[in-house]
Amino acid sequence: MLRRTTLREIRGSLGRYLAMLSIIALGVGFFSGVRETTPTMVHTVNEFWQAQQLYDLRLVSTLGWEDADVDALRTQPDVRYAEGSHSMDILCDGEEREFVLKAHSMPENINLVRLCEGRMPEKENECLLDADMNSTLGIGDTLRISESNDEDTKDALNGTEFTIVGMAESAYYFNHERGTTSIGNGSVAGFVYLPAAAFALDHYSEIFVRFDQDMQIFSDAYKDYTEEKTDVWETLTQEQAETRYTRVLTDAETELADGRAELEEQRADGQKELDDAAKELDDAKAELDDASKTITDGQKELDDSAKKLADSKTKLDDAAAQISDGETELAKAKKEITDGEQQLADAKAELDASEKKLTSSKAELDASEKQLTEGETALKDGQAQLDAAAADLETQAASLAAQEEALSAKEQELAAQLPYMDQLPAAQQAALQAAQAELTEGRTALEAGKAQIAAGRESLAQQQAALDAKKQELAEGRKAFEEGKKAYDAGAAQFAEGKAAYEASLATFTEGKAAYEKSAKELADARTAYETGMQQYEDGKQQYDKGVQELADGKKDYEEGLQTYNDGLADYEDGKAEFEEKIADAEAELADAEAELADLETPDTYVLDRSTNIGYACFESDSQIVEQVARVFPVFFILVAALVCMTTMSRMVEEQRTQIGTLKALGYSEAAIMGKFMFYSGSAALAGCVLGFAVGNVLFPSVIWMSYELMYIQLPLRFVFDWQLALLAAGASLLCSLGTTWAACRMELAETAAGLMRPKAPKAGKRVLLERIPFLWNRLKFLQKVSIRNIFRYKGRFFMMVIGIGGCTALLMTGFGIRDSIAGFADVQYGEIEVADASVTLASDLGEELPASLMAQLDDLTEEYLPLRQSSWDLSTDLRTRSVNLLTPSAADGLDHFLRLHTQAGEALPFPQSGEALISTSIADRWGVAAGDEITLRDSDLRKLHLRVTGVFENHVYDYVITPPETITAQLGAPPVWNTVYVNFPAQADVYQASADLAACEDVTNVSLYAELQARLGKMMSSLDYIVLLVILSAAGLAFIVLYNLTNINITERIREIATIKVLGFFRKETSAYVLRENLALTAAGILLGLGLGILLHRFVMAQIVVDMVSFRIRILPMSFVWSIVLTFVFNMIVNFFMGFKLERINMAESLKSVD
């Protein structure tokens, strides 16, 4: 019977029952859903990976592996499969540009691929393509291996074209990351599986090992197992690699030795053959040479004889001519001799005549000479007489001149006295006249003297002239004499000459006559000799002609021999060339092999477990995020569910007070009565628990999986059922419903039946604290006072409401805050901090200055660039050693075009000086380093840098320490070598093209575009959006259920009151306001609490979400505050809106009913 009333009770108060059921469902659903999300996802992926036999260990050796190694390792204990695999990066021709694919050999047992469509490759030239690849290539298309692959790559593949026969997913590539490569544009576009036969390689690039276990991925058991195995296998692998090394070395050496021996042998054989041939040829050559010499000699002899013959002929001819000349001359000489005899006789006569003439001339000459000498002596005497007369004359002339002078003087004196003569006494005048007369006398005497002299002179001159004529005559006579004398001398000489000539001629004649006679004799001899010579010549000529014939024959034979020889020689040269080439090739091959062997180093091996697989690692950390979030949220829901149960049940027990009393009066036991309520709440809790568990377990993982599916291979979820969790949830929900029921019932049941039968005194109105502050209280409107009093009247409800609403707001804020913190950090990182377009990684050995070619390329392709040094150092703190990136920009100026250094608050930081450093926020936050601290960095060579931290700059990706180059120079003794370049491309440039161009540069090993990084990070974090959505939805659910439940209770409890005020004529709005104003006030209070709570919760949750290498910017944007508040209010409004209908439906007749 009781059961029937209970069921009816449930039916009657379905809303309340359902509210309780749903809050428990929500609590359990959220709790179990969020809890189970990670296990569900892990389970799903685990099943996939187990099915696809994801490898446990990946063994890599720098030397590669062979089948023997694989076989050896396969025999190890616990190995289920071991499989060698090829993999390489290849460039493929795309529609516009080349793209890089990671080519793998088709797996047999490990890392199986899952075919999405098409079929497995069957032939060597067929392949499976990455189904996830963004490409137009599809089944039936041909994948072309690009020509621009390097030779090694091209050689490693059999064929350049592969037909795509299927699209596949691979366990090895669980997420969409395909990794990076050093070729092409640096990023791998997808994978391609080729049949093993398509690889022309003699060694595997890696061995995958699958142990004989199926432990859950990420489980501790598996981690321990792997760790243990890794330790063992590291040794094992190294040993195996060394075995291979030894084998390779030995094989290669043996092979090399064999090769060399063979080469030597072949070389010897070939050489011998060649030598024989050469010898034969040489013999032939010698023979030919002899022949040639013989011929030449013969020819020469012939030529000599011909010459000789010609000479003798000439000589003979000359001789003949000479002989005839001699005869002519001889005849001529005979005549001359005759002539000469005549001439000589004539000359003798002439000479005799001349002698006679000469003697007469001599006598003549002697006579004239005597005459001449007499004349000359007479002349000389005359001259002397004349000269004496002349001198005498001159003396007279001189005395005369003196007389004249004296006379002249007396004349002058007289002349002077003359004018005065009249005046003079007559004496004197007579004297004077006497004097004058004397004078005139004197003059006359003088003049006579003078005339005498002149006459003297004349005769003298005449005598002189006669003398001179005589002298002339004499001179002429002398001259004639001289001439005659000369002519005589000449004639004498001539005569002497003629005589000599005569005598000479005579001698010559005599000689000539003798010569003639001798010549005549000689001539006769010559003629005889000539005739003999002629005879000889004729003989020689005959002999010569014969020789010529012989030579011509010999020559012909020789030509033939030479031809044969030349042919033989050509054959020989060809053979030799061929031989040499072959030998050179073989030697080069051997040298290569030797060089290779020399280069062959002891192999390094790596034992890589699953955590090095990017899909595995990403999935682990991604799934952990949910798990970490899962730890926090459910607490709220459980708490709220408990509160809701408590309120509901106490209300119900209160309502059923009379009935309890009646039942008690009828004699039902307390337990039976309590059982009714227990059943009510317990069934609601159980049903809610089952519902929540079922829905939560499916819904939460599904929603979150939906978001993960964007990042990973799409797999149908395999739901897990966790008994323990189910029991825990059921236990918790039962505890919270039954416990509260029990608590509520205890109080009522303690009363007597009679007391219970009486209506319970309505809960007395109470004054609230505020009323004691008239200043405030009196200002309130009447209805506001009512509301305030009502709020504080039901304290339990008050707290529950505030906590529920506060929780809702806090959840919203956390949700939005997670998004703000996570979604924002990539934008902040690449929009406000690392603002460069790309970072270019350079080859390692470029030196202190960038190569000119690279600078030219950079100038050409980029707007601006800045070289820097990026290196990994260990930062030791008290906590532990942490690897950080040390950035050393080449210049502080312009750095902010690439990397902006500012604090979290946005203040710009000055660039550090030598010995100083800036550190990123992540280091500061996680490792407790602050500005002003001293830090020590150590690199792998144990070099140390001591730096003083001058500031902390905002940075979210990687841990950075920034110091100027001077620090490096000062502390390490050498300036830094740039290995990275920050670049900004021109505004209009196609950055992808530009980066590809840059990547193609020599010296550039990699180009990473920050836009791509940002997108990748953004995508990675987008999964969190779903979680945020889920949190928001849960918050909404929480708010609805709490508000609905409480308002519902509120209304039910006050139904008479509400009916009464309706009767009193409150309009609909007034009625709603009267009741729901309290909700609004409570919501406001809840929001206030929630804001504080939200900040704490957000911080806590963010602290749980740890993603490697990334530090989030813990923040809640103002808009998120606004949204949280607005949304909470909106939820409240929605509940109020629906509650308005409920109020409307309250029948006023209720006011007439009694209190039951």
Partner 1 sequence: MHAFVELQNVRKVYRTGELEIHALRDVSFEINKGEFCVIVGASGAGKTTILNILGGMDTLTSGSAWLDGAEISAYTKRQLTAYRRYDVGFVFQFYNLVQNLTALENVELAAQICRDPLDAAEVLTQVGLADRMKNFPAQLSGGEQQRVAIARALAKNPKLLLCDEPTGALDYHTGKAVLKLLQDTCRSTGMTVVVITHNQALAAMADRIITVKNGTVENMRLNQHIVDVADIEW
Taking the C-alpha atoms of residue 566 and residue 960, their distance in angstroms, rounded to an integer, is: 80
* Shortest distance in whole angstroms from residue 622 CB to partner 1: 54
Taking the C-alpha atoms of residue 895 and residue 836, their distance in angstroms, rounded to an integer, is: 9
Per the CB < 8 A criterion, the answer to whether 917 and 967 are in contact is yes
Taking the C-alpha atoms of residue 473 and residue 466, their distance in angstroms, rounded to an integer, is: 11
Stretch that binds partner 1, among 427-435, 482-490, 778-786, 1128-1136 (CB under 8 A): 778-786
* Shortest distance in whole angstroms from residue 763 CB to partner 1: 6
Burial of 298 (0-12, 13-18, 19+ CB in 10 A): middle
Taking the C-alpha atoms of residue 305 and residue 318, their distance in angstroms, rounded to an integer, is: 19
Per the CB < 8 A criterion, the answer to whether 104 and 86 are in contact is yes
* Shortest distance in whole angstroms from residue 1154 CB to partner 1: 5
Structure tokens at 968: 């490096």
* Shortest distance in whole angstroms from residue 1147 CB to partner 1: 9
**Closest to 1143 measured CA to CA, from 1093, 1089, 1071:** 1071
Question: Judged by CB under 8 A, which of 789, 902, 926, 938 binds partner 1?
Answer: 789
Taking the C-alpha atoms of residue 876 and residue 961, their distance in angstroms, rounded to an integer, is: 13
Q: Does 769 bind partner 1 (CB under 8 A)?
A: no
Q: Does 786 bind partner 1 (CB under 8 A)?
A: yes
Question: Judged by CB under 8 A, which of 51, 1064, 1096, 1122 binds partner 1?
Answer: 1064
Question: Judged by CB under 8 A, which of 68, 331, 524, 1148 binds partner 1?
Answer: 1148
Taking the C-alpha atoms of residue 654 and residue 646, their distance in angstroms, rounded to an integer, is: 12
Question: Judged by CB under 8 A, which of 154, 785, 926, 1019 binds partner 1?
Answer: 785
Nearer to partner 1, 785 or 897 (CB): 785
Question: Judged by CB under 8 A, which of 134, 395, 778, 1154 binds partner 1?
Answer: 1154
Q: Does 1066 bind partner 1 (CB under 8 A)?
A: yes
* Shortest distance in whole angstroms from residue 764 CB to partner 1: 4
Per the CB < 8 A criterion, the answer to whether 59 and 65 are in contact is yes
* Shortest distance in whole angstroms from residue 1055 CB to partner 1: 11
CB-side neighbour CA atoms (13 Å) of 536: 14
Structure tokens at 921: 């926020």
Question: Judged by CB under 8 A, which of 598, 671, 764, 987 binds partner 1?
Answer: 764
DSSP string, 638-686: HHHHHHHHHHHHHHHHHHTHHHHHHHHHHT--HHHHHHHHHHHHHHHHH
Length of the chain in terms of residues written: 1156
Question: Judged by CB under 8 A, which of 1070, 1081, 1099, 1140 binds partner 1?
Answer: 1070
Q: Does 1057 bind partner 1 (CB under 8 A)?
A: yes
Taking the C-alpha atoms of residue 109 and residue 95, their distance in angstroms, rounded to an integer, is: 34
Using DSSP bridges, classify how beta strands 161-170 and 126-130 pair: parallel, antiparallel or unpaired. parallel
Per the CB < 8 A criterion, the answer to whether 1058 and 1147 are in contact is no
Interacting residues of 718 by C-beta distance below 8 A, sequence separation 6+: 40, 43, 44, 47
* Shortest distance in whole angstroms from residue 790 CB to partner 1: 6
Residues 472-501 that bind partner 1 (CB under 8 A): none
Stretch that binds partner 1, among 185-193, 246-254, 470-478, 1055-1063 (CB under 8 A): 1055-1063
Stretch that binds partner 1, among 45-53, 1002-1010, 1062-1070, 1104-1112 (CB under 8 A): 1062-1070
* Shortest distance in whole angstroms from residue 769 CB to partner 1: 15
Q: Does 779 bind partner 1 (CB under 8 A)?
A: no
Question: Judged by CB under 8 A, which of 1068, 1092, 1100, 1126 binds partner 1?
Answer: 1068
x/- site string to partner 1, residues 791 to 830, per CB under 8 A?
--x-------------------------------------
Per the CB < 8 A criterion, the answer to whether 808 and 1042 are in contact is yes
Stretch that binds partner 1, among 288-296, 392-400, 747-755, 757-765 (CB under 8 A): 757-765
Per the CB < 8 A criterion, the answer to whether 233 and 78 are in contact is no
* Shortest distance in whole angstroms from residue 779 CB to partner 1: 16
Nearer to partner 1, 465 or 1064 (CB): 1064
Q: Does 209 bind partner 1 (CB under 8 A)?
A: no
Nearer to partner 1, 412 or 1154 (CB): 1154
Taking the C-alpha atoms of residue 56 and residue 612, their distance in angstroms, rounded to an integer, is: 11
* Shortest distance in whole angstroms from residue 9 CB to partner 1: 22
Question: How far lies 962's CA from each of 214, 371, 463, 841, 923, in Å?
Answer: 47, 148, 149, 18, 12
Question: Judged by CB under 8 A, which of 1056, 1104, 1123, 1133 binds partner 1?
Answer: 1056
Per the CB < 8 A criterion, the answer to whether 32 and 697 are in contact is yes
Stretch that binds partner 1, among 35-43, 153-161, 419-427, 1060-1068 (CB under 8 A): 1060-1068
Q: Is 794 helix (H, G, I), strand (E, B) or coil?
A: coil
Nearer to partner 1, 527 or 785 (CB): 785
* Shortest distance in whole angstroms from residue 1051 CB to partner 1: 14
Taking the C-alpha atoms of residue 423 and residue 732, their distance in angstroms, rounded to an integer, is: 210
Question: Judged by CB under 8 A, which of 37, 790, 955, 1132 binds partner 1?
Answer: 790
* Shortest distance in whole angstroms from residue 786 CB to partner 1: 6
Q: Does 763 bind partner 1 (CB under 8 A)?
A: yes
The gap between the terminal CA atoms of the chain, to the nearest Å, is 21
Count H helices and E strands in the chain, helices first. Answer: 23, 20
Nearer to partner 1, 879 or 1155 (CB): 1155
* Shortest distance in whole angstroms from residue 671 CB to partner 1: 33
CB-side neighbour CA atoms (13 Å) of 692: 37
CB-side neighbour CA atoms (13 Å) of 936: 9
Question: How far is C-alpha 272 from the chain's CA centre?
Answer: 53
Question: Judged by CB under 8 A, which of 77, 419, 667, 762 binds partner 1?
Answer: 762
Q: Is 609 helix (H, G, I), strand (E, B) or coil?
A: strand
Nearer to partner 1, 786 or 1013 (CB): 786
Question: Judged by CB under 8 A, which of 1060, 1088, 1099, 1106 binds partner 1?
Answer: 1060
Question: How far lies 999's CA from each of 182, 866, 869, in Å?
Answer: 9, 16, 18
Q: Does 1152 bind partner 1 (CB under 8 A)?
A: yes
Stretch that binds partner 1, among 197-205, 421-429, 962-970, 1053-1061 (CB under 8 A): 1053-1061
Number of residues that bind partner 1 (CB under 8 A): 33
Stretch that binds partner 1, among 231-239, 486-494, 610-618, 781-789 (CB under 8 A): 781-789
Per the CB < 8 A criterion, the answer to whether 158 and 184 are in contact is no
Packed helices 1010-1053 and 634-655: angle between N→C axes, nearest 10 degrees: 10
* Shortest distance in whole angstroms from residue 1040 CB to partner 1: 27
Nearer to partner 1, 12 or 765 (CB): 765
Nearer to partner 1, 308 or 1056 (CB): 1056
* Shortest distance in whole angstroms from residue 1081 CB to partner 1: 15
* Shortest distance in whole angstroms from residue 1060 CB to partner 1: 4
* Shortest distance in whole angstroms from residue 1050 CB to partner 1: 12
Nearer to partner 1, 19 or 1046 (CB): 1046
DSSP-derived secondary structure letter, 1110:
B
Q: Does 760 bind partner 1 (CB under 8 A)?
A: no
- Given the rule CB under 8 A, which residues bind partner 1? 761-766, 782-783, 785-786, 789-790, 793, 1056-1057, 1059-1068, 1070, 1148-1149, 1151-1155
